[in-house]
Structure 1
Amino acid sequence: MTPVAPVHPGQLNALPPARRTDTPRLRVATYNIHKGVRGLGPGKRLEIHNLGMGVKALDADLVFLQEVRLFNQREARHFDHTWFGWPEEGQAEFLAPEGYEAAYRTNAVTRDGEHGNALLSRWPIGEIRHHDVSDHRFEQRGLLYVPVSWQGGVVHTVVAHLGLIHASRVRQVQRLHDFIASHVPAGEPLLVAGDFNDWGERLDTPMARLGLLRARSPDGRLASRLTFPSRVPVFALDRVYTRGFRCVRSSVPRGPAWARMSDHLPLLVELELS
């Protein structure tokens, strides 16, 4: 078994600091954490402790997480005797920085455990909902809905992890539309973020039909949104779609520490109400 090697916090500080302005800004991150484990066989290593430092370094008000484990008996046995052991609580609670609230709901149940989506929030959260959007029996997918109190109002948030087949993703966007129409008041601020698995860049148009626009860096640089694969990113699979916000800055942290923790890099955006 490969020893668990901790990342030094100094390797994670190449991030733009949150800007203090007269206009309130919401700093939002989305991150597919690959269940907190990397590698296969004897080379498998536990990264959940390093991911905890990574999430803290993002300094985001809201962190949208995918592939988050509630528990996994096989992995808990495998890593039980490492220096950094398998956490006793679910990964969402484990990753939440001090003072944050964590919301989690299961998407997939396997023989050894469960995993799903999570939201970590610096601001108070309301009633959590889960909506199954599985398109076939080989992929269990869901939406996590969490209302967040911010600046005297409510920001409606949805954590998404869409399927691997384009036709499935199109149908899941329609189910997202149906869920929003049923549970989110028209005109109120809304964020939908996560791993969209949209290799062909084909979902922006159907999302725009729902009134959701993709958060992009104002300078338009493609490099500010490429997140997969983490070592040499060429695809922008991880996204934030917004209603009622405008994006003022976006970035993707890079470097060996970020590349090792997951097969995805996190996307970080700063938003202002529009």
Structure 2
Amino acid sequence: MPVQRERGSLRVLTVNIHKGYSFFKRRFVLHELREAVRAVQSDVVFLQEVRGGGEPDERHPGVSQYEFLADSIWKDHAYGRNAVAPRDSYGNAVLSHFPIVKSRNHCLSGPRTMPQRGVLHCVVSHGALPALHLMCVHLGLLERDRQAQIAALREVIDSEVPPGAPLIVAGDFNDWRQRADARLARIGLSEVFRQTQGRHACSFPAAWPLLRLDRIYVRGVASVRPLPMPRHPWSRLSDHAPLAAEVRLGEAA
């Protein structure tokens, strides 16, 4: 059940789940991941590298990974497929306690970029407050591709999100050179950890985080607060550590 919070406040979590495998694919850990995600008690969950189709097997019979993780906890969910392989597909997903009134997956890659990268845009209803826009993103490994994908992401935001609407953009940016902030700041986005702590959170590799690859960006919100995440059990559940934050909607400060 959703946790009762102050009006206009919500908890968000983002994590690259590595298609349900631990680092180096040593173990299939989707069941453990589900328990860990539940324990955070987030209102909105941003997931990357989620299997969303293909032939069901004994590891998650009859349902996609995002449906398995949502279970009966998050009533609404959306999925954006970015990569297709034989008997398989994977992409980004959003799980939400609040009704998702609209969702669309936008491709951020050129036709020759493999694997394809995308952003899943969801609009959720949050009571009497303005509609909340959520974007779950996974950018490429190569600097040239990332710069083009950030430019495409900015175009999606400019065309799909009203200037005054609350917006959360979260996911795996693979931005180890930390160049995304300057370009996203031009459209009003600020990163939660850098805004409040002076630098991005280390998130990769999960067992001993050194690189600052994952982000939570916001625009049009009243306040943000990063949430500390335990090293265990997360260090053995994926190659990326999760990030979490409390976000209060309302007029931006």
Unaligned runs of 5+ in 1: 1-17
User: How far apart are the structure 2 equivalents of 1:190 and 1:239?
Assistant: 14
Pairing 1:46-65 to 2, within 5 Å after superposition: 46-65=28-47
Q: Which amino acid aligns with 1:184?
A: V
8 Å contact kept, 2:82–2:115: no
C-alpha deviation, 1:180, in angstroms: 1.6
Q: Separation in 1 of the partners of 2:161 and 2:153?
A: 11
8 Å CA contact retained: 1:31, 1:265: yes
Deviations 1:7-47 (A, max 9, x none): xxxxxxxxxxx8954x631211111000002366xx74211
Which residue of structure 2 lines up, in the alignment, with residue 232 of structure 1? 208
Aligned twin of 1:96: 70
Q: Secondary structure at the match of 1:175?
A: helix
- Residue 218 of structure 1 and its aligned partner are, at CA, apart by 6.7
The aligned counterpart of 2:16 is: 32
Count of residues in correspondence between the two structures = 245
Q: Decide which of 220, 242, 249 is 1:244's aligned counterpart.
A: 220
Between the aligned partners of 1:170 and 1:230, the Cα distance in structure 2 is 25
Shift of 1:64: 0.5
**Structure 2 CA distance, aligned partners of 1:244 and 1:219?**
16
Tell me whether 1:157 sits opposite 2:134 in the alignment: yes
Return 5+ residue gaps in structure 2 as ranges.
none
Q: Equivalents in 1 of 2:204, 2:105: separation in Å?
A: 26
Deviations 1:115-153 (A, max 9, x none): 000000010111211111124332211110100111422
- Please, what TM-score do these two structures have when normalized by structure 1? 0.82
Q: C-alpha offsets along residues 142-195 of structure 1, whole Å, 9 cap, x if unaligned?
A: 110100111422001111001111121111111111112222122111111100
> d(CA) in 1 for partners of 2:228 and 2:116?
28
* Max Rg structure: 1
Which residue of 2 is the match for residue 197 of structure 1?
Answer: 174
> What amino acid is aligned across from residue 142 of structure 2 in structure 1?
I
Q: Contact (CA 8 Å) 1:252, 1:266: kept in 2 or not?
A: no
* Cα separation, 2, equivalents of 1:39 and 1:215: 26
CA–CA distance in structure 2, aligned partners of residues 247 and 217 of structure 1: 14
Secondary structure at 1:126's aligned position in 2? strand
